[in-house]
Amino acid sequence: MKAILGIPMAFLKLFYQSIYLALGQIWANKARSILTTTGIVIGVASVTSVIAALTGLKANVLSNFESLGTNKIFISPHRPREGRFKSASWRLIRFRPEIFEGLKERCPSIDDHTLMAEGSEAVHYGVESIDSARVYGINPSWHRIENRSVVMGRPFTLMDEENGWQVCLITPKVRDELRMDRNCIGKRIVVGQRSFTIVGVVEQRVESSMFGGMGSSQEVFIPFPTAWKLWGPWTWMYAIASCRKPELSAEAQAELRFFLRQTRRLGPGDPDTFRLEVIEEYLKQFNTVAKTTTAIAGGVVGISLLVGGIGIMNIMLVSVSERTREIGLRKAVGARPAAILFQFLVESVVLCLFGGLIGAGCGQLLTELIAKIPGAALDKAYIPLWALGLSFGFAAATGVFFGMFPAIKAARLDPIEALRHE
């Protein structure tokens, strides 16, 4: 029993013995210990704060993406790079409204879809005008898919589509630019060459700090059939579908693909002549990029930890050579080589961990400062737990790695030679 307990007990004893000796030594050389750990402090502080900044950036971008909606699928025509449509004319590639007929019945995971036609037109009201407003042809389902309801008047209905009425919805921005009354319902504006009656005002697009400039908020909406008739088949036409649940995104895409391949009469070997795009795909891509960036930045800043580690090794070597006599004495009174090795190793590891602790504190302060930089979109910066663990682990590893050489040197000293050392 005693023999079984002997080995772990001896190890435990070696451990607390080394910690006791190392702490004593660090305390005896306070000023030097603090200076030595500075390298590690700076290293850990910069690693943690850089990771915190990147994490904050990522959180910001993610929240911006989410404001765009994650269960929407954008369907657009696309000329494949190979296969039979490689050099097909745009006439074959472009969408026509007919290909979406029956989509709702054939794709059960799709909640709804809207055809979209997009153009840019001058808008006039009396003497006021807007040179180029975005004009969209939309289906009534657009309101639900884009989550933009009318704040005044009424949304589009099937009646507008079937009758091909010249009606339009505008944004408050357009109303203000054209200097119309607050209640502009029933007024007529000229879009392009034709006159449209305003039936409602649509709420402004959600402004996101990141993608604010992506689309102008001077938007005019007209029924899709009207737009199709107005601009003819050469207009840029695409569609937006929404799936029933975000989890069904993959299924919905598969169904859409199958459906579209059929309606576009693609053969089994032909590549798709359309493209399905999901915000989530972009999210995934962004996540990959963000991870790579974090790894690279962390690695680059990790070099400062390396420099700190070399500082530790240097000071440990100095410590070994100036304490040679003491090491000789310790050996003479019965310190085993392992005890000497552990004493120096634990000393360097404790120095590094101590540096890591202070560094993490400094990193936290830096992070709070970074979060306060105005206009840097880093207000969500925080140190993730894994970054703390990583930098602490790295600091400890630095201690072991760079402490090993001096510790082995100390453990191998010959006691007779060491006691003779001046």
Partner 1 sequence: MSTTSNAPATPTPHSRIVIRLDNVTRVYKVGVERIHALDGVSLELHQNEYVAVMGPSGSGKSTLMNLLGCLDRCTSGVYELDGYDTTRLGAGGLAHIRNTRIGFVFQSFELMGRSSALKNVEMPLIYSRDGWWSRHKRARQMLERVGLADRVKHRPNQLSGGEKQRVAIARALVCNPSILLADEPTGNLDSKTSEDILRLFDQLHAEGQTIVLVTHEESVARHAKRVIRMMDGRIFTDLSSEEDQAQRAAMAEHFGEVLK
Footprint on this chain of partner 1 (rule: CB under 8 A): 13, 17, 20-21, 28, 325-326, 329-339, 415-416, 419
Whole-number minimum distance, CB 36 to partner 1, in Å?
17
* Nearer of residues 329 and 400 to partner 1, judged by Cβ: 329
- Contact assessment for residue 374 and residue 417, using Cβ atoms and an 8 Å cutoff: no
Whole-number minimum distance, CB 10 to partner 1, in Å?
8
Contacts of 171 (CB under 8 A, 6+ apart): 201, 202, 203, 204, 205, 217, 218, 219, 220
Whole-number minimum distance, CB 387 to partner 1, in Å?
38
Whole-number minimum distance, CB 308 to partner 1, in Å?
26
Whole-number minimum distance, CB 34 to partner 1, in Å?
17
Strand pairing report for 167-170 and 219-223: antiparallel
* 3-state DSSP of 118-147: EEEEEEEECCEEEEEEEEEEECCCHHHHCC
Q: What is the DSSP letter of 185?
A: T
* Nearer of residues 9 and 250 to partner 1, judged by Cβ: 9
**SS3 of 102, please?**
coil
* Nearer of residues 22 and 50 to partner 1, judged by Cβ: 22
Q: Is 101 exposed, middle or buried (0-12, 13-18, 19+ CB in 10 A)?
A: exposed
Whole-number minimum distance, CB 339 to partner 1, in Å?
6
Q: Which two tokens stand for residue 1?
A: 């029993």
* Nearer of residues 337 and 393 to partner 1, judged by Cβ: 337
Whole-number minimum distance, CB 40 to partner 1, in Å?
24
Whole-number minimum distance, CB 59 to partner 1, in Å?
50
Q: Which two tokens stand for residue 92?
A: 């074959």
Q: Is the dihedral of CA 339, 341, 343, 349 positive or negative?
A: negative
* Nearer of residues 20 and 236 to partner 1, judged by Cβ: 20
CA distance 78 to 295: 35
* Nearer of residues 31 and 333 to partner 1, judged by Cβ: 333
Whole-number minimum distance, CB 332 to partner 1, in Å?
5
Q: Which two tokens stand for residue 117?
A: 């036609």
CA angle 263, 268, 272 (to 5 degrees): 60
* Nearer of residues 214 and 333 to partner 1, judged by Cβ: 333
Helices (H), 29-133: 30-68, 90-93, 103-106
* Nearer of residues 345 and 387 to partner 1, judged by Cβ: 345
Whole-number minimum distance, CB 341 to partner 1, in Å?
11
CA distance 396 to 350: 8
* Nearer of residues 19 and 206 to partner 1, judged by Cβ: 19
* Nearer of residues 99 and 411 to partner 1, judged by Cβ: 411
Q: Is the dihedral of CA 337, 340, 341, 346 positive or negative?
A: positive
* Nearer of residues 17 and 216 to partner 1, judged by Cβ: 17
**Residue-wise burial string across 87-96, b where 16 or more C-beta atoms lie within 10 A, e elsewhere:** eeeeeeebbe
Whole-number minimum distance, CB 16 to partner 1, in Å?
8
CA angle 142, 248, 271 (to 5 degrees): 85
- Contact assessment for residue 274 and residue 76, using Cβ atoms and an 8 Å cutoff: yes
Q: How many CB atoms lie within 10 A of CB 47?
A: 30
